[in-house]
Chain A
Amino acid sequence: MRRYAYALTRNHASADDLVQDTLERALTRWTLRGADLRPWLFAVLRNLFLDGARARQRRPGHKPLDDRHPGPGRPPEQDGAMLGRDMLDSFAGLSEEHRSVLLLVAVEGLSYAAAAQALGVPTGTVMSRLSRAREQFRRLLDGEVARPHGGDRSTLRRVK
């Protein structure tokens, strides 16, 4: 959860706030839930993040969430950390939908069905969104598209 929250916010304090809110909410609703909590926890976290993002949008002039220095817990002079930061900078160029689907499936290892549950979309949508997200991410990293402009238009060529 902390990984997902950090990848969304790029800010350690905000990420921990998100996780704390998620856990507190989860604890008060604990009894309402069945066995598999993970998709639900991710869904709660994501909704809190989106609510927060919307609230920030309504208050322009608010400092955007971003603390690239220091990077995620490592001294910046290390090559690995530099590469990682570059990676995360490119990743930040993706839309939230693309970031979330990539994080949930590729990083957190959720099944397609569980990711669908967390994101509130059909499984088929998860798969096609994932395919577009990966292609877009690859293009950003390989410099095929300009970085901050993370549009949704790149699609994997459909293979019939």
Chain B
Amino acid sequence: MNDLPLPIGEDDLTAWVDRRLETARLGEVQRYLDAHPELAARLMRQRETDAALTEALRPVVEAPIPARLRVAPMQAAARRRRTIWLGRVAAVALLCAASGAAGWVSRGSTAAPLQSAARNAREAFLTYTPEIRHPVEVRAEQGEHLAQWLSARLGRAIRPPDLSALGWRLMGGRLLATAGTPAALLMYDDDRGTRLTVYVQPMGVDGEEFHLLQQGEVATVLWAEPRLALAVTGRAGRTALLRVAERVRAEMLAME
């Protein structure tokens, strides 16, 4: 390389103030500062103000941590929410097994809007997954646009869940007309070309709802979040769909 030392730059001076210069460079910068006492004085003053700022904020660090900021209870609450939901999933899965899994199986009060959401989700799956050329309106490559567009049309933040850990790749999404607010349909496929859809529709429902609609091979797992109905539809088998549903739900919770 070059035997001449690099000229002293702003970044050297910044690193000098932070005492983060490597030893080799420190000597060069120090010599430079010795030759420029006015600059050296200013940088020294910056070091002092850094220390004074840290000192001024010390009472915040020393103040006792309020109970609500302790991580353990928060973790416990998060785990509880998760366990309750998983319990409900397991219960529905059992119900399906017991009932031979035909038609509409529910945990929670059977709300008519949710039933129609489940039907919409199923119809959308049947209509759009066989499409070869136009399965989606906006492809996954335009992820940011897709999220913004759907969020704008649905009136709340929608980001397609990342299901790659379960082997499902996002293909893209489309907007669906419904009797109420428009819904979003997100389509995923796996390495064998199997497709599944995630259906999202804002509606006035609370949590505590969980349904399964199965006709033939196609199953729809539907549940309600606050002000949102979500459904996963596919031929992948109920266990796989439930795992997808669990993942979708975790991502939706994280987004709120």
Chain A contact residues, CB within 8 Å of chain B = 2-3, 6-7, 15-16, 19-20, 23-25, 27-29, 32, 71-74, 81, 83-85, 87-88, 91, 102-103, 105-107, 112, 124, 127-128, 130-131, 134-135, 137-138, 141-142, 156-160
Contacts and interface: CB of A to CB of B under 8 A. Distances in A.
B10 A156 contact: yes
Given A16-B68, A84-B55, A131-B14, A72 B60 contact: yes
B39 A106 contact: no
A135 B55 CA distance: 19
Given A23-B74, A24-B78, 5 more contacts: A27-B71, A73-B59, A103-B53, A137-B53, A156-B10
A128 B9 CA distance: 10
Interface residues of B, number: 39
B59 A25 contact: no
Contacts, number: 116
Contact of B60 (A6, A130, A156): A6
**Residues of B contacting A: mostly:** helix
Interface of B: 7-11, 13-15, 17-18, 20, 39, 42, 45-46, 49-50, 52-57, 59-63, 65-66, 68-69, 71, 74-75, 78, 250, 253-254
A27 B10 contact: no
A87 B69 contact: no
A131 B57 CA distance: 21
Contacts of A103: 53
Contacts of B59: 71-74, 81, 84
A29 B52 contact: no
A124 B14 CA distance: 11
